[in-house]
Amino acid sequence: MTGKDQALSFEDMSFSYGGEMVLQGVTFSVPPGEFLVILGPNGGGKTTLLKLALGLLSPLSGKVSIFGERPGTDRGVAGYVPQDAGRNRNFPITVLEVVLQGRLGLPGRRGIRYSGEDRSGAMEALRSLKMDGMAGRSMGELSQGQRQRVLIARGLASDPRVLFLDEPLASIDPDTRDMLLALLGELRGKMTVVLVSHDMSAVSGHATAIACVNRKVFYHDSAEIRPGVMEQVWGKCPVELIAHGVPHRVLAVHEEGKCDHD
């Protein structure tokens, strides 16, 4: 595939904060329709990688592209679901108003008024997450799981070609987590899904590709990670990995290629 055919592409990309190298020599490409899960230890660069893909940060060197274009060139091509830290819960804004924000900046929009098409797109996104009945409710009235569903609806409101999600499964109940993962699994193929997560076992049945991030990026074009790579990313700590969709646990000391099943 050429660069224009790849949903997401990094070419020898490096990034630093104030001279401290955070990501170095990152090179990999993600074909359209994949469900990429980005894994790695805290502080390893997962969220930074996501922000570079969105154009919120610029690389120190190398190149990042979405369908062959510099990130941010077409704001309608990417949807973004940031981490929900739970701040500003009492801010007076409704569910529909939050989701409508996902329509801002789309090509062809004029002014700040929302059109009928904007409202229709926002309601369709809410329906896909079974939240359309709460369109008029205040965000402050919602549970954490409901808030997360609204934020995902906002990311879907522009009908993006790539949907980026930063830890969308954090602090939600198992039933909501399973529902969201099922929805994202259904979206795969219609769009490319890129999800940052620390919960490997939760996403194991849905991922089609995995990127392990810890300054460097180890990309796997299937839901399988070799134990040797896990040691490079996490060190000697016991960690779970995904192999053929089945969670495994790699012990601190183990023979190459062998792991115990939980």
Taking only the tens place, the pLDDT of each residue in 203-230 is 667 788 888 898 899 888 876 655 555 5
Query: What strands, in cross-sheet order, belong to the sheet with 192-196?
Result: 78-81, 162-166, 192-196, 35-39, 209-214, 216-220
Parallel, antiparallel or unpaired: strands 209-214 and 35-39: parallel
- What pairs with residue 14 in β-bridges? 61
pLDDT beneath 50: ranges in the chain? 236-262
Instruction: Tell me the per-residue pLDDT of 73-87, one tens digit each, with 9 for 90 and over.
Output: 887 899 999 886 566
CB 161 within 8 A of CB 7: yes
- Asked if residues 9 and 31 have their Cβ atoms less than 8 Å apart, the reply is no
pTM of the model: 0.82
Inter-residue contact 242 to 207 (CB < 8 Å): yes
Helix segments in the chain, DSSP class H: 46-54, 95-100, 116-128, 144-156, 174-187, 200-203, 227-234
